[in-house]
Structure 1
Amino acid sequence: MKLDPAFIWTAFVQLLSVIPTTLLITAVSVLGGFLIGTGIALLRLYRVPVLSQIAAGYVTFIRGTPMITHLLLIYFGLPAIVDAVSESLGSSFRSVSIPYLAFALIAFTITASAYMSEVVRSGLLAVNRGQLEAAYSIGMTTPQALRRIVFPQALAASLPNLSNSLIGMLHGSTLAFTVSVVEIMAKAQIVASTNWKFFEAYLAAALIFWGLTVLIEQLASRIERRINVYNRGGVA
């Protein structure tokens, strides 16, 4: 096999056009997963009757099954549910109107929520319980104490794990091509199919993912440094 450096550059340039799709999948799934995961973590920490057991079962199931399984279950199961509900309501809306990207966003958000819940839960457990009790002693309600005292510290403690989860979802977004979403890896396959130079196309894709990963690592490192300076009483 003879390497074609010129085609690596050609593929690299063509792959740039789908980076926004990959970043959209990553950002939406991580943000949605963080919000849902925070709710799940609070349910489990405060041991809300029934709901905490459901939340624990949800986390166990999602973490115990592959990411691609969630995607395929949503891709094949959600349309059937949508069509059944629409028909029962007498609506003309059908699942064929739903873009493929929506299935990927829903599935990856579900996946991220389970992992994010554990990240958030570990961060909350890292905050000294005495700080919450001190907040109660000065008249704060639980939501106020969580928002002003607990969450900021928990977020700082969870930052390394959050960045790892973000990188994991960035790489996991490559599975979206299985439901016809054209992201970086799918585009690489399309580009390579014109002349069968798959190695060069996938190498270009690897370089892009590596670059995006480095950017995330650098951003997380800067945020962590600023948080550490603030926690030491310095000027951020």
Structure 2
Amino acid sequence: MKLDPAFIWTAFVSLLSAVPTTLFITVVSVLAGFVFGTGIALLRLYRVPVLSQIATGYVTFIRGTPMLTHLLLIYFGLPAIIDSAAKSIGSSFRSVEIPYIAFALIAFTITASAYLSEVVRSGLLSVNRGQLEAAHSIGMTTPQALRRIVFPQAFAASLPNLTNSLIGMLHGSTLAFTVSVVEIFAKAQIVASTNWKFFEAYIAAAIIFWGLTVLIEQIAARIERRINVYNRGGVA
């Protein structure tokens, strides 16, 4: 096999058009997963009857099954549920009208919510409970204390793990090609299929993913430095 450096550049340029799709899948999944994951973490921390047990089971099941399984279950199962529900109420709507990327977003959000709930939970547990009690003593409600005192500190403690989760979801977004979403990996296969230079195309994809990963790391490092500025000289 002879490596074709020129085609690596050709593939690299072609793959850039798929970067927005990959970033969209990653960012939306992580943001939505963070919101749901925070709710799950709070249910478990405050041991809400019934709901905390459901949340624990949900996290255990999702973390115990592959990400690809979630995607395929949503891709094949959700349309059947939607079509059945639409038919029962006499609606003409059908699942074929839903874009493929929607199924990927739902599946990846489910995955992200389970993993991020543990990240958020560990961050919240790292904050001294005495601070919440002190907030209550000066008249703050629990939501106010969480928003103004606990969450900022928990975010700072969780930032490295949040960054890892974001990078993991970026790489996991390559699974979207299995449901016909053209992200970076799928685009690499399309570009390579024109002349069977898959090795060069995958090298180009790897370079783009590496670049995006470095960018995420740099942004996270900058945020961490800004957070540490406020922590200097603070009360422990």
**Shorter-chain TM-score tier:** over 0.9
- Deviation per residue, 1:9-52 (Å, 9 max, x gap): 00000000010000000000000000000000000000000000
Q: Residue 164 of structure 2: SS of its match in structure 1?
A: helix
Offset, 1:205: 0.1
**Equivalent AA in structure 2 for residue 181 of structure 1:** V
Equivalent residue, structure 2, for 1:9:
9
Give distance in 2, aligned partners of 1:131 and 1:81: 46
Equivalent residue, structure 1, for 2:107:
107
Give distance in 2, aligned partners of 1:207 and 1:233: 41
1:36-51 counterparts in 2 under 5 A? 36-51=36-51
Equivalent residue, structure 1, for 2:77:
77
1:117-128 counterparts in 2 under 5 A? 117-128=117-128
Equivalent residue, structure 2, for 1:87:
87
Runs of 4+ in 1 over 2 A off after TM superposition: none
**Equivalent AA in structure 2 for residue 145 of structure 1:** A
Equivalent residue, structure 2, for 1:54:
54
1:12-27 counterparts in 2 under 5 A? 12-27=12-27
Equivalent residue, structure 2, for 1:174:
174
Counting aligned pairs with the same residue, the percent is 88
**Equivalent AA in structure 2 for residue 133 of structure 1:** E
Structure 2 length as normaliser, TM-score?
A: 0.98
Equivalent residue, structure 2, for 1:200:
200
Equivalent residue, structure 2, for 1:214:
214
Give distance in 2, aligned partners of 1:92 and 1:198: 43
Unaligned runs of 5+ in 1: none
Q: Residue 224 of structure 2: SS of its match in structure 1?
A: helix
Give distance in 1, aligned partners of 2:174 and 2:18: 12
Give distance in 1, aligned partners of 2:206 and 2:15: 11
- Deviation per residue, 1:93-129 (Å, 9 max, x gap): 0000000000000000000000000000000000000
Offset, 1:56: 0.1
Over aligned residues, Cα RMSD in angstroms? Answer: 0.7
Q: Residue 190 of structure 2: SS of its match in structure 1?
A: helix
- Deviation per residue, 1:71-99 (Å, 9 max, x gap): 00000000000001111111100000000
Give distance in 2, aligned partners of 1:86 and 1:116: 33
Give distance in 2, aligned partners of 1:214 and 1:124: 27
Offset, 1:233: 4.7
Which deviates the most, 17-26 or 224-233? 224-233
**Equivalent AA in structure 1 for residue 219 of structure 2:** L
**Equivalent AA in structure 1 for residue 57 of structure 2:** G
Q: Residue 70 of structure 1: SS of its match in structure 2?
A: helix
1:119-138 counterparts in 2 under 5 A? 119-138=119-138
Give distance in 2, aligned partners of 1:72 and 1:57: 20
Unaligned runs of 5+ in 2: none
Offset, 1:221: 0.5
Q: Tell me, yes or no, if structure 1 residue 227 matches structure 2 residue 227.
A: yes
- Deviation per residue, 1:178-219 (Å, 9 max, x gap): 000000000000000000000000000000000000000010
**Equivalent AA in structure 1 for residue 11 of structure 2:** A
Give distance in 1, aligned partners of 2:141 and 2:90: 46
**Equivalent AA in structure 1 for residue 68 of structure 2:** I
